[in-house]
A and B are shown apart, each in its own frame.
Chain A
Amino acid sequence: MKITDACVYPYPAGDSTINRLAFEAREYGYDSIVALDTPAAEIYGVTVLAGMYLAGSTLKEVHERARKASVSGVVVSVQAGDNGFNRTVAGTKSVSLLRGIHKADRHAFDHVTAKIAADNMTAIDLDLSVLVAGRGPLRQKAIRRYRDIVILQHRFEFPITISSSARSVLGLRPVREVAGLCSVIGMDLSDTELALAGISRIMRQADAAVKVIP
C-alpha cells in the first residue's frame, strides 16, 4: 500500500516544482503523489502519478475527456456537482476520483451514490486544504460534509483518498499531521491509513486482469 497525496499543483500552477514537491513529500512520509498536468515519473524515490482535474464540465465532456485520459494511465478526478451528476460520474469507469464534495450541495452525496462509488471503485477525495486554510462557516461546512462521508464510507466501504491540494511545499502536510487533521472529521488512524492508500487501492483495481465478484 502506497501512501499517496491525491492532488498537488506543481509549477506553473503553484510555486514549487514537481522535483521539490517530490523531495518534500518523501521527507513527509509519502510514497507517491498525484500531480496535475504533469507527466508520470519517479523522482527522489517518490512515484509521481499524472493527474487530470475536470471542473465545471458537463457529463458529456467528462465522459469524453476521462475516457481518453484513462487510456494513458492518468488519474482522472472530477469536481462534484449535484446528486444526479455525482451518481453518473461515480458510475463512470474511467473516473478515479470525485473531488470537491465539501463545495457541493448537502444532498449531493447520498447512500445511492455511495453504493455506486463502492461498486465502481470510484474514490471520494477529502481535500484537507479547506481544513487547513478555511476558517469559520466554510470549514464547519467541510467538516460536516466529511463526517457524513466517513459515516457512509463505514457502511458502504467505497474508497476514500486524501489530498493536500498543495500549490506550494508549504501546503504539504506530513502524514502525522494528516492523521491529526483527519481525527477532526471522525477518522481514526486505521481509517486514515486506508484513505492514504486509497489511490494505490483504486490503481491496483484498475490494473487487475480479473475482477472478483463476491
Chain B
Amino acid sequence: MSVLPPTLREKRRYILARVEPSGLPLDAKDLYYTLYEAVTSLWGDVVTAAMRPAVISSENGFVILRCRRGTEREFAIALSTVNGCNDCTIAIRVFAISGTIESLRERVKTMDISIASRLPPTDRELFFDGKSVELASRNGQKFDVIEKGFKNAHRLFLTREDLEDS
C-alpha cells in the first residue's frame, strides 16, 4: 500500500508517563504486553484495535506511549489499571499528552534535570524498624529501601523521618 499523505493519515496522541518505582530495568516489549493486556481486559478487543496502543520509547524510568487521537482518555484509564510487569509491582503515572513526540522529549529533558538533582546514594548504613536496609533509590524526602537478607527482597517505601540513625 502506498504511503498516505500527512493530511490523510490518522492523527495520533503521545503520552509521557513515568514508571514507578524508579530504577526497575523494564524492557519496552514487556511493558507493551503489559499495557496491551491492561487495555484489552478493560475495554475489550474492539476498542483496543481502534486505540492502537504502542510503546514508542522507554528510558530512565519514563515511557512515551502512543494511541489514536480521541482514545487518549480511555488509554489513560487503562494505564491506571496497570499494576505489575514481569512479576514486579509497578504503577504508571501519566505526566503529559501531546500531539508530537518532540514536545514530550523536551519535557523529559527538563525532568532529567530533576532526576540529576536527586541526592546521591549515601554510604551510611541505614536502619528501619530495627533492621538493616539497603538503599534502592532516593528522591528528596522519599527513600526506597530493600531489606537486607535472603528471604526479604521486596521494597519498602519510606521517608527520611522513618530511617533510624545507625
Contacts and interface: CB of A to CB of B under 8 A. Distances in A.
Interface of A: 11-12, 15-17, 19-20, 23, 131-133, 135-136, 139, 168-171, 173-174, 177, 180-181, 183-184
Tell me the dominant secondary structure on chain A's binding face: helix
B103 interface: no
A169 B83 contact: no
Q: How large is the interface on B (under 10, 10 to 19, 20 to 34, 35 or more residues)?
A: 20 to 34
Interface in B85-121: 89-91, 93-94
A174 B94 CA distance: 10
A131 to B, nearest CB: 7
Interface in B107-166: 129, 141-142, 154-159, 161-162
Given A20-B158, A23-B141, A170-B20, 9 more contacts: A12-B129, A15-B154, A133-B83, A135-B41, A136-B41, A170-B89, A170-B91, A177-B76, A181-B77
Interface of B: 20-21, 41-42, 73, 76-77, 80-81, 83, 89-91, 93-94, 129, 141-142, 154-159, 161-162
Contacts of A11: 129, 156
User: When A and B form their complex, which 5 residue pairs have the shortest distance between CB atoms, in order from nearest?
Assistant: A16-B157, A177-B80, A180-B77, A19-B159, A170-B91
Contacts, number: 66
A174 B77 contact: no
A181 B94 CA distance: 14
Contacts of A23: 141-142, 159
B144 to A, nearest CB: 9
